[in-house]
Amino acid sequence: MKDLEKIAFNIRKNIVKMIYKASSGHPGGALSSVDLLTVLYFSEMKVDSENPQDENRDRFVLSKGHASAALYATLAEKKGLITQENLFGFRNINSPLQGHPDMKKVPGVDMSTGSLGQGLSVANGMALAAKLDNKDYRVYCLMGDGEIEEGQIWEAAMTASHYKLDNLCAIIDYNNLQIDGKITEVMNPTPIDEKFKSFGFNVININGNDMDDIQNAFDKARKAKGRPTAIVAKTVKGKGVSFMEGQASWHGKAPNEEEYKAAIEELESKLK
């Protein structure tokens, strides 16, 4: 786990730097999902950085596409998928790193996303293809807790369950905040676990900022047969940078120079 902590630290640091350099981006929901992405890409998923298009690889769909900085920083840690130089061109006109992930521009991105609510359907399609081809790859889909207010998510939840997609693992980044405020106040999607349970999912509640908890959940998900799994991951929006933590205002705002320095300093102090 020590190594994973170091990787998560690098990802968090790079997210803050990317968004600072671009003067735009979404730090809150990127930072909340870092630990999930770290365990996925460095422990759970079969992904070969030498061959990112391998047809037998596990797939990942970032349905909450605005957390793109977290995905890019994670792919940069997976050596070779994104160079450090490219990483800090994030959101610039000449960069392949679009504001929201573009699968045609970045090897390692399995699906273009950005318009919320669409990723779970796509992940279902990938999981169905695996079943048709008798392949054993798994498909992971990360959604925001605000995102599941979109109706298409529940259409897709029906499908995953109807077609018994046990090779699908949905993950909800439950940081409790969306742009306009607390999810329970803007448009209450809770109880999230009960909803997925009633749709036929194997539901696992975890602390989504705890690496052991996350890995245990993926282990359980792999063992569940005949139904899809939903991991409801309680997280802290802005995790790792205290002044961003639990603040809806940091959903889509870049830090200024002073805030950037303070954020990096804090992240570094925690690593020691």
205 contacts 220 by C-beta, under 8 angstroms:
no
Alpha-carbon distances of 264 from 36, 70, 184, rounded to whole Å: 21, 16, 31
Q: Is 162 in the site for other proteins (CB under 8 A)?
A: yes
User: Per-residue contact track with other proteins, 128 to 147, x per CB under 8 A?
Assistant: xxx-xx--------------
* Chain position carrying tokens 């079943």: 131
Closest contact distance (angstroms) between CB of 267 and other proteins is: 33
Which residues lie across from 140 on neighbouring strands?
Answer: 60, 169
Among 50, 94, 151, 223, binds other proteins (CB under 8 A): 151
**158/271 with CB nearer other proteins:** 158
Q: Is 194 in the site for other proteins (CB under 8 A)?
A: no
**147/259 with CB nearer other proteins:** 147
**128/186 with CB nearer other proteins:** 128
Q: Is 112 in the site for other proteins (CB under 8 A)?
A: yes
User: Residue 115: phi, psi to the nearest 5?
Assistant: -80, 115
Which residues lie across from 234 on neighbouring strands?
Answer: 174, 207
Among 99, 107, 114, 252, binds other proteins (CB under 8 A): 114
Among 159, 161, 176, 209, binds other proteins (CB under 8 A): 159
User: Residue 223: phi, psi to the nearest 5?
Assistant: -85, -15
Q: Is 156 in the site for other proteins (CB under 8 A)?
A: yes
126 contacts 119 by C-beta, under 8 angstroms:
no
**31/130 with CB nearer other proteins:** 130
Radius of gyration of the chain (CA): 17
